């Protein structure tokens, strides 16, 4: 492996296995993730794609009885190491969930929440971070006049973009998105997809999606999971035009899943 590929890699996952109690949910996953690329993860329900993305910031630890073996190297450090500082990891790896989940606070406080607790105390500095994060998600113009109103008053699509802004406010390098548009209407979905294409200039993005068109529209690499195994990982154009594995082909042409 050349120095070049090493520095381009954010994540390098080797032989990752995961069990929920007795259930073997991820089997021998080897998965490099490159810097400033969008990696889409597709596969039928229950294939382990959500489980996989939750291992990347160890949110999987919230589930009781989870056991993992193997390595998840993040910027050269194995996060499965006991000594891993979860706070530090999650500051660097933001996450957006299926349904927009803003806190029942004002719009401003939602975005300021992370940076405030992580130590930005000065109001002017905090304002800067909030404005910049809201601009990054193209929400600033829509909310600049009502920053002190409740975030729950926003539409579903706006709430989801607010949640992305909230994740960006802690200045992560990586953004994980777990089916971020599954609860949104087509127009809001389109906005989020445009946003992903813009954000990839600055961030490494991993997105789990049920929607194969979405994967083909926004991602550089696509990974296909089936029954806990990583079947195929390649450039998106290869996966969708010329997959190597017959199961991948079967899934993307709609023969199952």
Q: Which is nearer to another protein, 86 or 135 (CB)?
A: 86
- H-state helical runs in 200-242: 212-218, 236-241
Strands across the sheet with 23-34, in order?
Answer: 77-78, 66-74, 9-20, 23-34, 229-235, 221-226, 38-42, 204-208, 174-178, 93-96
Minimum Å gap between C-beta 99 and another protein is: 7
Cα–Cα distance between 70 and 210 in angstroms, integer? 27
Residues 174, 10 contacting (CB under 8 angstroms): yes
Rule CB under 8 A: is residue 90 a binding residue for another protein? yes
Minimum Å gap between C-beta 103 and another protein is: 6
Minimum Å gap between C-beta 63 and another protein is: 11
How many residues touch another protein (CB under 8 A)?
34
User: Which member of 81, 88, 127, 198 binds another protein (CB under 8 A)?
Assistant: 88
Rule CB under 8 A: is residue 132 a binding residue for another protein? no
Q: Which is nearer to another protein, 142 or 220 (CB)?
A: 142
DSSP 118: T
Query: Which 3 state secondary structure label does DSSP give 13?
Result: strand
43-51, 74-82, 93-101, 129-137 -> range binding another protein (CB under 8 A):
93-101
Rule CB under 8 A: is residue 175 a binding residue for another protein? no
Cα–Cα distance between 142 and 196 in angstroms, integer? 19
User: Which member of 50, 57, 189, 248 binds another protein (CB under 8 A)?
Assistant: 57
Minimum Å gap between C-beta 226 and another protein is: 26
User: Which member of 1, 3, 22, 62 binds another protein (CB under 8 A)?
Assistant: 62
Cα–Cα distance between 167 and 177 in angstroms, integer? 10
User: Which member of 8, 27, 35, 91 binds another protein (CB under 8 A)?
Assistant: 91
Cα–Cα distance between 188 and 181 in angstroms, integer? 8
DSSP 106: B
Residues 57, 89 contacting (CB under 8 angstroms): yes
Minimum Å gap between C-beta 146 and another protein is: 10
Q: Which residues bind another protein (CB under 8 A)?
A: 57, 59, 62, 64, 86-92, 94-95, 97, 99, 101-106, 109, 113-114, 117-118, 148-151, 163, 166-167, 170
């Amino acid at each position: 492996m050349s120095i070049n590929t090493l520095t381009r890699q954010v994540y390098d996952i080797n032989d990752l296995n995961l069990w929920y109690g007795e259930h073997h949910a991820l089997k021998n996953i080897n998965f490099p993730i490159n810097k400033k690329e969008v990696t889409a993860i597709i596969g039928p329900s229950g294939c382990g794609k959500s489980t996989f993305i939750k291992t990347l910031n160890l949110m999987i630890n919230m589930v009781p009885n989870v056991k993992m073996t193997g390595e998840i190297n993040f910027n050269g450090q194995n996060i499965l190491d006991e000594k891993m500082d979860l706070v530090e990891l999650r500051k660097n790896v933001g996450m957006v969930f299926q349904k927009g989940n803003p806190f029942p606070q004002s719009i401003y406080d939602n975005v300021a929440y992370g940076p405030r607790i992580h130590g930005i105390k000065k109001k002017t500095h905090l304002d800067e971070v909030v404005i910049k994060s809201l601009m990054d998600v193209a929400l600033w113009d829509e909310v600049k006049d009502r920053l002190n109103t409740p975030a729950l008053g926003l539409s579903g699509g706006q709430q989801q973009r607010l949640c992305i802004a909230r994740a960006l406010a802690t200045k992560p390098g990586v953004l994980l998105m777990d089916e971020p548009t599954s609860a949104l209407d087509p127009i809001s979905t389109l906005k989020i997809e445009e946003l992903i294409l813009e954000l990839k200039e600055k961030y490494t993005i991993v997105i789990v999606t049920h929607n194969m068109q979405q994967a083909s529209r926004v991602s550089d690499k696509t990974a296909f999971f089936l029954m806990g195994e990583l079947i195929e990982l390649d450039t998106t154009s290869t996966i969708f035009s010329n997959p190597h594995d017959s199961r991948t082909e079967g899934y993307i042409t709609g023969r199952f899943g």
